Amino acid sequence: MSIRGACYTFGNKFFNEMKGNILIVDDNKSILSALDILLSAQYDYVKCLSSPNQLISELQKHDYQVVLLDMNFKTGANTGNEGLFWLREIKDQSPACSVVLITAYGDVELAVKALKNGATDFVLKPWKNAKLLATIQSAIQLSFSRHEVNHLKQKERELKREMNTNEKFMIGSSPELMYVLKMVQKVARTDTNVLITGENGTGKELVAREIHRLSKRNNEMMVSVDMGAITETLFESELFGHVKGAFTDAREARCGKFEVANHGTLFLDEIGNLPIHLQAKLLSVLQSRELTRIGSNESVSIDIRLVCATNKNLSQMVADELFREDLLYRINTIHIEVPPLRARGNDILVLADFFLKKYAYKYDKIMPRLNRQAQDKLLKYQWPGNIRELEHCIEKAIILSDRHVLKPDDFYLRPLAGDPMDSRSLNIEVMEQRLVAKALDTHPGNISAAAQELGITRQTLYKKIKKYGLS
Ligand SMILES: Nc1ncnc2c1ncn2[C@@H]1O[C@H](COP(=O)(O)OP(=O)(O)OP(=O)(O)O)[C@@H](O)[C@H]1O
């Protein structure tokens, strides 16, 4: 008889095709041959052993879904201790294998003891064939399910390891970035909630990933949810999950992002885009650390580290009654501001170099270098789309240019509306007013950073704000 399952992998097609392999261990030869005839017709592979001595070596040779095990082997023995001993050995060797005991009438107490020790079921001698086949069928299904669960758990572990090792690292060495990374190192080991702010494309998500990577939760997942992309109707089911039949389309039960992130990190991106009436629902879960799936009345405890990000000024949104103050306090125990690329000085060239290497490799080209004028062009540009824009700009240059030295005309940088440097006015006061307004826009609510960028003191900046009626 051929054994189809000797090298199968459980999980999908082949496992679905399998009927199962059965090992029968009994010292009674007539029982063995009766079972062999009955079961060989139904299953892929049936092996009979008249003594348990080769049991473990047999399990090492083949995958069995079920072992049918007699409880007593020595003549006159009826304690079942031998059966219990071999049951433990089987569970040690093949934890997913189901053990069905063959017991004599009146051994019910022994059978119960065996069930407590990991047996799946028992059949009483003499058995009825239909009942025996039904018992074996359920035991096979249970064994397949255990294999499936083990396979999925292994896969999950691999995926988590893969995700955490394939992290992108933050490139740059400017004091501005170093300050951010120092903050990250300090907060990562704690479980405190972190709010990351900064313009689009500055690397907020990368900062969140770094916090997760350095945290003690790094064996688990960081789950990202784009709060700007989640529709209002799906908000609760996406975040908190639902039970089967909770609403028309809920054909299966589904766990929400909070549960998927359990014991790991939940990253709520674009938190400033969450409509105010949904903020209360989020706050309630964050406060109680418990959630209830839609359609269920059981609450589930959650243990997550929360990191949020936004490019909006949440304090201003609170003042405008667009964001709940209590939610803001809940999420911003630590606030990390990621500086825009234009404020990171030479990091522009370090990042440009990194992306030149990356895309030259990707498009199979020799890595070009930048001439002095091209470097100046990149350094002077304002980068409103920050690192994401720089990356796209370099990728485009690599694709379109065949030069070994890239010049300014290899980089198309969009003229910025309202850029003071593009102004046709040569009036110094008009220019100054625009520069001050731009610095205040770039660093909302941060007078020190705005003053530093303008190269003036805070006091001088306050005077200019007053003079030009800016706020
Ligand atoms: N310091 C860095 N080093 C290397 N790559 C970076 C760095 N910062 C950002 N990037 C890259 O720039 C892109 C944008 O980064 P990210 O998505 O983290 O920004 P973000 O601030 O979250 O953007 P958004 O506000 O649009 O969600 C990503 O491809 C990221 O890998």
Residue minimizing CA distance to atom 2 of ligand 1: 170
The domain of 381 spans 341-410
Is 78 contained in some domain?
A: yes
- Residue 5 in any domain: the answer is no
Distance 177 CA to ligand 1 centre (A): 13
Find the CATH number of the domain harbouring 69: 3.40.50.2300
Question: Are 317 and 201 found together in one domain?
Answer: yes
455 domain residue, yes or no? yes
Same domain, 44 and 118: yes
On whether both 125 and 261 belong to a single domain, the answer is no
Interval between CA 205 and ligand 1 midpoint (Å): 6
Find out whether the beta carbon of 389 lies less than 6 Å from any atom of ligand 1: no
Number of structural domains (the chain) is 4
Model pLDDT, residue 75: 59
**CATH number of the CATH domain containing 221:** 3.40.50.300
**Nearest ligand 1 atom, CA 391:** 12
243 lies in the same domain as 376: no
Residue 35 resides in a domain: yes
Q: Which of 195, 205, 308, 347 has most ligand 1 atoms within 8 Å of CB, for mutation?
A: 205
Assess whether the C-beta atom of 5 lies below 6 angstroms from ligand 1.
no
* 51 and 119 co-located in one domain: yes
388 CB within 6 A, ligand 1: yes
Are 130 and 232 members of one domain?
Answer: no
Question: 8 lies in a domain?
Answer: no
CA-proximal residue: ligand 1, atom 28 (nearest):
388
10-residue stretch averages of pLDDT, the chain, 471 residues long: 37 60 93 93 93 91 92 71 90 93 79 90 89 94 91 78 70 95 96 96 95 92 88 86 82 86 94 92 93 88 95 94 95 96 95 96 93 93 94 94 91 68 58 82 83 87 78 62
**Quick one: pLDDT at residue 328?**
97
Whether residue 171 has its Cβ less than 6 Å from ligand 1? yes
398 CA from centroid of ligand 1 (Å): 20
Domain of 388, CATH number, reads 1.10.8.60
Pocket test for ligand 1, best of 176, 206, 356, 386 (most atoms within 8 A of CB): 206
Q: Could you tell me if the CB of 224 is within 6 A of ligand 1?
A: no
Q: Is the CB of 206 under 6 A from ligand 1?
A: yes
Which pLDDT score is estimated for 378?
95
Considering the domain architecture, whether residues 242 and 259 belong to the same structural domain is answered as yes
Are 189 and 241 in a shared domain?
Answer: yes
**Distance separating alpha carbons of residues 276 and 131, to the nearest angstrom:** 60
User: Ligand 1, atom 13: nearest CA belongs to which residue?
Assistant: 388
Nearest CA to ligand 1 atom 15: 203
Q: Residue 419's pLDDT is what?
A: 54
Residue minimizing CA distance to atom 16 of ligand 1:
203
Is 133 in the same domain as 178? no
Residues 95, 199: one domain?
no
Residues 331 and 353 in one domain: no
Domain boundary among 313, 337, 361: 337
Q: 153 CA to middle of ligand 1, Å? A: 31
pLDDT at 266: 95
Q: Do 41 and 114 belong together in one domain?
A: yes
Compute the distance from residue 207 Cα to the ligand 1 centre, in Å.
8
For residue 471, the model assigns a pLDDT of 62
Whether 157 is in a domain gets the answer no
What pLDDT is attached to residue 7? 35
Of 98, 119, 151, the residue at which a domain comes to its end is 151
Would 130 be classed as within a structural domain? yes
